[in-house]
Amino acid sequence: MTPAGTLLCATDLHKAYGPTKALDGADFSVHPGEVVAVMGPSGSGKSTLLHCLAGIVTPDAGSITYAGRELSAMNDAERSALRRTEFGFVFQFGRLIPELTCVENVALPLRLTGVRRKEAERTALHWLERLQAEDLAAQHPGEVSGGQGQRVAVARALVTRPRVIFADEPTGALDSLNGELVMQLLTEAARSANAAVVLVTHETRVAAYSDREVVIRDGRSRDMERIV
């Protein structure tokens, strides 16, 4: 049974790639507006857990419930629709489309759902302002720094007002100063929108922005107590 108030919950997840067990009974939960850091060494199953939670990868066994619905009961089109509208994504390398301007990159998720260009770009500009990147609107990704590009990527993740943001090593390609700024802006914007954040990281300074930490080791999860 999903705990009361939980937005996204996984129970006893198993996933293997050939003889290698990526997940071996992992559990996870996150509430609206909560930032949860998923930590662990390389190869521990962190990214596999994130991909399962986002409906990108199907676990071999176990249950994932989002907003009261079982992900395995959804078809591919329904899971794709979730990823377009209710889930947002920030990756280690922003994965911006080089042919589009920054404002067009941010507006793209809205355009894919049928929003007209002017309205989509007006909303995109609002989020670029929130991420202190409005001056980058007309520039292309190749013309901005790594830290600037990552702020654009965060704006793109937030533009559809998703209920869950999946951030996979979002500061891994940044220096410490830009990494701190990106994390501060990401968590502040997400909390103000009451969006949950699932943050995969191996850096304790990044995990410090979370409300709670879950450690993955050998495919198994363990909640860590936060000492205030």
- pLDDT of amino acid 23: 95
What average pLDDT score do residues 158-172 get? 93
Quick: pLDDT tens for 186-218: 999 899 999 999 999 988 999 999 999 999 998
Residue 166 has pLDDT above 80, yes or no: yes
- pLDDT of amino acid 228: 39
How would residue 2 be classed by pLDDT, with cut points 50, 70 and 90? Answer: low
- pLDDT of amino acid 3: 59
- pLDDT of amino acid 224: 67
Residue 1 has pLDDT above 60, yes or no: no
How would residue 172 be classed by pLDDT, with cut points 50, 70 and 90? Answer: confident
Quick: pLDDT tens for 118-138: 999 999 999 999 988 999 999
Residue 227 has pLDDT above 50, yes or no: no
What is the DSSP code string of the chain?
-PPTT-SEEEEEEEEEETTEEEEEEEEEEE-TT-EEEEE--TTSSHHHHHHHHTTSS--SEEEEEETTEEGGGS-HHHHHHHHHHTEEEE-SS----TTS-HHHHHHHHHHHTT--HHHHHHHHHHHHHHTT-GGGTTS-GGGS-HHHHHHHHHHHHHTT--SEEEEESTTTTS-HHHHHHHHHHHHHHHHHTT-EEEEE-S-HHHHTTSSEEEEEETTEEEEEPPP-
Quick: pLDDT tens for 79-125: 999 998 999 999 877 789 999 999 999 999 999 999 999 999 999 99
